[in-house]
């Protein structure tokens, strides 16, 4: 999620586009619900040293039901000893209000309402900013993490001061984010010291450089009011217009179970597509697809076509 902005002295440009800065969801109505969960007997774990990156990070897992999925992500983080790293704070945002942490030094935040993915991500950004964290990581709860995941995801921020967004590679739809070789399981992934500059990052497993992203207004809950589909592309457009970078790292990998939360909350593919297109068309007009390297036929009804057919030039890694 080194601080990529604090030492650069960079002044971000003001972007002229429709849409409003999202509200600050960190007020007292939600903050006092943070709690640490009691822990049962713990299995032996490896000795942990502070993160190899210079970044201090807030790691947030938004969840709505499906506790078995959230448990798996938590256990992947505990496996790596990430919950014992003093540079990291890990929080499950329990939008349903019924999650019981299975293990680990991890907090559970119950906002008392469903913040949705976009609201939980903005809560994370504002909380990280208030706490002075350099990076904020937001992880879907329907993913599995490669070993050493957070070290791999956070590492790019120590290499350059102009990276605003970093995403893990994965096994999902967007070709610019797919791993060069898809392993049988996330646990089998072998990290590579490869960093790709990309036009946008999928929000499935994403890290934000906190100061510049907060200055740019975070994720736009006004334009993307349902779940936040399309808000990651919108943020990438603003980030790159400000002269900052979006990257995908092959040092971290997630296996995405896809549609799990979507199915539990009654979302549909066509409804999500509508949120993407209505929001981006209203905010950026007809040119946003080309701005992020996509062709005019991307996002067709019922998501037909291959992944390569959605790009102006299909990426190859």
**Residue-range domain boundaries for the chain:** 28-38+49-258+265-310
Rounded CA-CA distance 245/209 in Å is 10
Q: Tell me the pLDDT band of 12, cut-offs 50, 70 and 90.
A: very low
> Does residue 199 surpass a pLDDT of 70?
yes
Q: Tell me the pLDDT band of 302, cut-offs 50, 70 and 90.
A: confident
Fold of 28-38+49-258+265-310: Spore Coat Polysaccharide Biosynthesis Protein SpsA; Chain A (3.90.550)
Burial pattern 50-70, b for ≥16 Cβ within 10 A else e, equals ebebebbbbbbbbbbbbbebb
Helix/strand/coil for 127: helix
pLDDT of amino acid 212: 98
pLDDT of amino acid 263: 52
Neighbouring C-alpha atoms within 13 Å toward the C-beta of 243: 9
Asked if residue 288 lies in contact with residue 281, where contact means CB atoms within 8 angstroms, the answer is yes
pLDDT of amino acid 17: 35
Asked if residue 255 lies in contact with residue 188, where contact means CB atoms within 8 angstroms, the answer is no
> Does residue 54 surpass a pLDDT of 80?
no
pLDDT of amino acid 260: 53
What average pLDDT score do residues 190-214 get?
98
Alpha helices in the chain (DSSP H): 28-31, 67-79, 116-131, 149-154, 210-215, 231-241, 260-264, 269-284, 288-291
pLDDT of amino acid 304: 67
- Both tokens of residue 66? 């499906």
Rounded CA-CA distance 192/89 in Å is 26
* pTM to 2 decimal places: 0.83
More confident residue, 245 or 261: 245
């Amino acid at each position: 999620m080194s601080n990529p902005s604090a030492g650069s002295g960079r002044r971000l440009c003001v972007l002229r586009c429709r849409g409003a800065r999202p509200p600050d969801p960190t007020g007292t109505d939600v903050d006092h619900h943070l709690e640490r969960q009691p822990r049962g007997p713990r299995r032996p774990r490896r000795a942990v040293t502070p993160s190899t990156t210079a970044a201090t990070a807030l790691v947030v897992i938004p969840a709505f039901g499906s506790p078995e999925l959230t448990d798996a992500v938590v256990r992947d983080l505990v496996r790596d000893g990430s919950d014992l790293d003093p540079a990291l704070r890990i929080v499950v945002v329990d939008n349903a209000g019924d999650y019981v942490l299975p293990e680990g030094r991890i907090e559970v935040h119950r906002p008392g309402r469903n913040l949705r993915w976009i609201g939980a991500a903005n809560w994370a950004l504002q909380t990280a900013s208030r706490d002075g964290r350099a990076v904020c990581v937001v992880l879907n709860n329907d993913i599995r993490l490669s070993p050493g995941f957070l070290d791999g995801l956070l590492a790019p921020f120590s290499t350059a001061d102009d990276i605003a967004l970093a995403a893990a590679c994965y096994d999902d739809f967007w070709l610019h984010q797919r791993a060069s070789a898809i392993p049988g399981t996330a646990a089998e992934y072998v990290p590579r010291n490869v960093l790709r500059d990309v036009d946008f990052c999928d929000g499935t497993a994403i890290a934000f450089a906190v100061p510049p992203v907060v200055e740019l207004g975070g994720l736009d809950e006004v334009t993307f009011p349902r779940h936040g589909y399309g808000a990651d592309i919108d943020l990438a457009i603003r980030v790159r217009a400000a002269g900052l970078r979006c990257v995908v790292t092959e040092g971290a990998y997630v296996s995405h179970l896809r549609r799990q939360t979507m199915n539990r909350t009654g979302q549909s593919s066509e409804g999500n597509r509508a949120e993407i297109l209505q929001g981006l068309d209203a905010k950026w007009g007809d040119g946003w697809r080309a701005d992020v390297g996509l062709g005019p036929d991307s996002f067709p009804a019922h998501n037909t076509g291959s992944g390569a057919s959605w790009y102006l030039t299909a990426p190859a890694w």
